[in-house]
């Protein structure tokens, strides 16, 4: 009986174990169908986290992000975020220089890393350095010439420059640039420091502490330099019939230097030598000197005034009446009947040229070359000026058409004889 009980217990244990395995297998099939295993590529690139020793800086890195391909159940994929994937590059215990570093990828959820692209990156590292550099104030633009800037006063004489050793050693000073071009009162403000090398070129990739400092520059007026207006002088009038269309000159203000007592006594205006307009009939440009009222005065900067003048002739219209119409193009034995045989001519042009034009200078003709004997037509008259001196004129003939009938005089003679 004891043996039967042991056999019964063993058989039941075997059946229980088999049932458990079968149940587990069925459960795995059910889970795989409801939550299948998938492979996918993350939609976003993962930042690469570089691990370095203290006092080491990365100055160049071929890639800063990586693309990761994973495998896992559908539920894991749905819950997975980019922050759950960590891509690292281990730079610890490496000397300064350029290194090829393999990437390591791990996932904080139950997913398997299939691939990481790129699998390695190129990184250049340097020792971090910090050095004190002198502060230098530079005026990128001086105040107006009648003012002067005194020595700048600033809150810091040195600034701490930190960054990669190769860049920090290139920094010669930290520069403070001031534009005083329109400054006529004392300048007080915060100004940003700029790291530069010995040639004044800006060095990027370093940090400065402090970045801004207080600066003060006293601006005072000079008694030996004075700003002056410039006016141009003219002489004579334009010839009759010409008009001034434009007048400009530069510079219109200058500075002069000289003894203070002389500067106080001369007013605020200088004049140029006179420009003669009496024979000017066209646009012109001329350089004329500025007249200084005292030989002790000096022009700053030295030079002449350039004057640009626009001149045009006045436009008028003249009317010429009873201009006879001549016929051209007649063959031998042909005559022409025209109506009217006199016209009015209106000419619009430059006054100086039109005023010298006379009636005898104008010729109006009609050309009958295209007509046959016995034909009639309204022809457009042609105007020419015998003098040839008139240019860019607008000519109008009244009336605009001439009625012409062409007659063969030789054919009409026998008829007239027979009739007699």
* pLDDT mean over 377-388: 83
Q: Cβ-count burial of 179 within 10 angstroms (0-12 exposed, 13-18 middle, 19+ buried)?
A: exposed
pLDDT at 158: 94
β-bridge partners, 247: 309
Residue 381 class from Cβ within 10 Å (0-12 exposed, 13-18 middle, 19+ buried)? buried
CA atoms within 13 A on the CB side of 365: 11
The pLDDT tens digits for 77-93 are 888 888 999 999 999 99
Average pLDDT, the chain: 88
- Do 402 and 325 meet the contact criterion of CB atoms below 8 Å apart? yes
Of the candidates 180, 174, 208, 210, the one whose C-alpha atom is nearest the C-alpha of residue 194 is 174
Read off the pLDDT of each residue in 106-122 and give the average, rounded to a whole number. Answer: 92
Structure tokens of 373? Answer: 């004997």
pLDDT value of position 33: 57
Quote the pLDDT of residue 413.
47
| Predicted local distance difference test score (pLDDT) of residue 416 | 39
> Please, which pLDDT band fits residue 371 given cuts at 50, 70 and 90?
confident
Just give the CATH number of 315-414: 2.170.120.30
In this model, does residue 109 exceed pLDDT 90?
no
Report, as an integer, the average pLDDT of 343-349. Answer: 92
The 10 Å Cβ neighbour count of residue 213 is 19
Mean pLDDT over residues 42-48, rounded? 92
What is the pTM for the complete model shown? 0.57
- Fold observed for domain 225-313: RNA Polymerase Alpha Subunit; Chain A, domain 2 (2.170.120)
Intra-chain end-to-end CA distance of the chain, in Å:
181
Q: Is 100 exposed, middle or buried (0-12, 13-18, 19+ CB in 10 A)?
A: exposed
Average of per-residue pLDDT across 128-141: 93
Tens of pLDDT, residues 271-321? 999 999 999 999 999 999 999 999 999 999 888 999 999 999 999 999 999
- Closest to 125 (Cα-Cα) out of 54, 59, 63, 204: 59
**pLDDT over 60 (residue 418):** no
Q: What is the pLDDT of residue 2?
A: 55
Q: Comparing 259-263, 275-279, 390-394, which segment has the lowest mean pLDDT?
A: 390-394
Tallying the residues shown for the chain, one arrives at 420
CATH code for the structural domain at 40-118: 2.170.120.30
| pLDDT at residue 49 tops 60 | yes
Look at the alpha carbons of 124, 126, 130, 132 in this order and tell me if their dihedral is positive or negative: negative
Residue 272: CB atoms within 10 Å: 20
Question: 129-221 belongs to which CATH class?
Answer: mainly beta
What are 175's two structure tokens? 């520069």
């Amino acid at each position: 009986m004891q043996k039967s009980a042991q056999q019964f217990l063993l058989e039941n244990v075997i059946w229980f174990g088999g049932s458990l395995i079968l149940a587990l297998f069925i459960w795995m099939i059910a889970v795989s169908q409801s939550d299948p295993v998938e492979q996918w590529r993350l939609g976003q690139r993962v930042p690469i986290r570089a691990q370095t020793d203290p006092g080491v800086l990365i100055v160049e890195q071929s890639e800063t992000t990586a693309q990761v391909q994973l495998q896992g159940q559908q539920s894991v994929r749905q819950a997975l975020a980019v922050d759950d994937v960590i891509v690292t590059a281990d730079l610890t215990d490496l000397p300064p220089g350029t290194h090829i570093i393999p990437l390591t990828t791990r996932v904080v959820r139950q997913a398997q890393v299939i691939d990481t692209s790129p699998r390695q990156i190129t990184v250049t590292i340097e020792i971090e350095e910090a050095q004190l550099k002198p502060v230098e104030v530079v005026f990128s633009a001086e105040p107006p010439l009648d003012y002067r800037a005194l020595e700048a006063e600033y809150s810091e004489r040195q600034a701490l420059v930190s960054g990669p050793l190769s860049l920090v050693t290139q920094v010669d000073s930290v520069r403070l640039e001031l534009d005083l071009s329109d400054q006529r009162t004392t300048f007080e403000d915060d100004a940003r420091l700029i790291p530069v090398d010995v040639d004044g070129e800006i060095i990027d990739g370093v940090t400065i502490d402090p970045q801004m400092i207080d600066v003060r520059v006293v601006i005072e007026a000079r008694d030996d330099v004075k700003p002056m207006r410039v006016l141009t002088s003219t002489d004579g009038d334009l010839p009759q019939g010409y008009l001034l269309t434009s007048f400009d000159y530069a510079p219109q203000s200058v500075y002069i230097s000289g003894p203070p007592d002389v500067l106080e006594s001369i007013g605020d205006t200088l004049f140029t030598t006179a420009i003669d307009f009496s024979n000017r009939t066209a646009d012109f440009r001329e350089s004329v000197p500025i007249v200084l009222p005292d030989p002790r005065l000096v022009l700053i900067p030295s030079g002449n005034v350039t004057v640009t003048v626009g001149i045009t002739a006045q436009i008028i219209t003249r009317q010429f009446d009873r201009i006879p119409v001549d016929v051209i193009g007649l063959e031998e034995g042909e005559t022409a009947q025209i109506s009217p045989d006199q016209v009015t001519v209106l000419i619009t042009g430059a006054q100086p040229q039109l005023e010298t034009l006379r009636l005898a200078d104008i010729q109006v003709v009609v050309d009958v070359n295209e007509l046959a004997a016995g034909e009639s037509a309204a022809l457009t008259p042609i105007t020419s000026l015998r003098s040839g001196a008139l240019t860019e004129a607008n000519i109008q003939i009244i009336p605009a058409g001439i009625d012409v009938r062409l007659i063969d005089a030789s054919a009409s003679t026998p008829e007239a004889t027979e009739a007699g």
